[in-house]
Structure 1
Amino acid sequence: MLVLLATAVLTACGGGNSSSSGNGGGDTGSGLGDPDEGAARLQAQRPQVDRAGASLGKALAEKLGGTTETGPMQYDLCSSAPVEGLSYYAQWRIRDPEPAPTLDAATAAAKAAGWKIGDTSPAEGQLPESVAMTSNGLNAQLSVDDGVVGWSVATRCIRVTPEEANKSVGPAS
C-alpha cells in the first residue's frame, strides 16, 4: 500500500514523468483561479475521481480478473506558499488476478477503457514501474507490483486558501 500511496502523490503533484505542466500538478496550481472558491471546486471534483477510479477498476478486473479493493482517499498538498494548492486522490488495487498481469496488459485494458496513456516511469527504489494516464481532466497512475495491479486517480492541483490547505490535508472522510 505504501507503493500506491507514493505513486498517488507523484500523480497529484505532477511527478513521475506525468503529462502535467510541472508547476504543482496542473494549470490551476500555477496561481490561476480564485483560492476562495478552490475548496468548492475540489469538493465538486471528488465524485468524478471516485467514479473514474471505480470505472477503471471494473475495466481492469474484466480484462485481468481478480478482486477490486478500494484504498485510501486523501487530500494532499500539491503546492505551497506563496500559492497553496490541494489535490484529491483515491487509490484502488486488484488482488489475485489470473494469470499474473504485466504492466503492458494493465495499460492495454486502461487504454481500451478510454484512458489516454502517457509516459512510463521506470522502477525506482521501492516504487515499481508505472504508467501515467489522463481522462476527463483527471490524472492517474497505474502499476503492477508482485501480482497486484494498483492505480490512483487524482484531481489536478487546485488553488485554495492557506487556511483551507491546513484544514483539509490528510485522509478524506
Structure 2
Amino acid sequence: MGAVEEWWASYHGKIRAALPDETLFLIGGRGVVRDDRGRLLLIKRADTGIWAFPAGGMEIGESMVDCAIRETYEETGLKAGQATPFALYTGPDHIYTNVFDHTYQHIILACLLTDVTGELNPDPEEATDAGFFHPDEFPNQSRTMQRTLADLEAFERTGRVQIS
C-alpha cells in the first residue's frame, strides 16, 4: 500500500472521507532538532516541495510529545531521547488549506528534541531531502518556520511555553 492509500486508511483519512468539505481539527506535533553547530533539521516535504520542520498528525493512543518524536523519526530516521515543549499553536490563525484543498485548524505542540541518535535517512514518501541549516540559510520555507524559530528563542529566553 502506498502513502496515499495508507493515509486514506488512517484515522485522519477516514474522518476526511466522512466530512470532505468541512474544516477539521488536526492535532499533532512538530520536532525541532538542533545540531552541535547550531543548525536546525529541516525536511523537504514530498507533498509540497517546501522545506519545514518534521511534523504531523497524532495517532490514537499517543501524546503530542510522542507524536513530535515519532514524526521526526519517520521523516528523518533520527530518534530523540528527550523532548521539551516550547510552543502550542491553537488559534484561528492556524487554519490552513493544504495542497489537496482540505482545510484544517492545526493544534500543534512544538518540541525541542535532544539526545538524538540515528542516521539522517529521509523516508522518500514523506521527505525528498533532509538536512541541517543555519536559520539565515534556510531554503524555500513553510509558513510556520519563522514563527516556530521566534517561539523557540522566546522560550529559551523566558522559560515559558509560547501559546497562540
TM-score (norm 1): 0.28
> Which structure carries more helix by proportion?
1
Higher strand share: 2
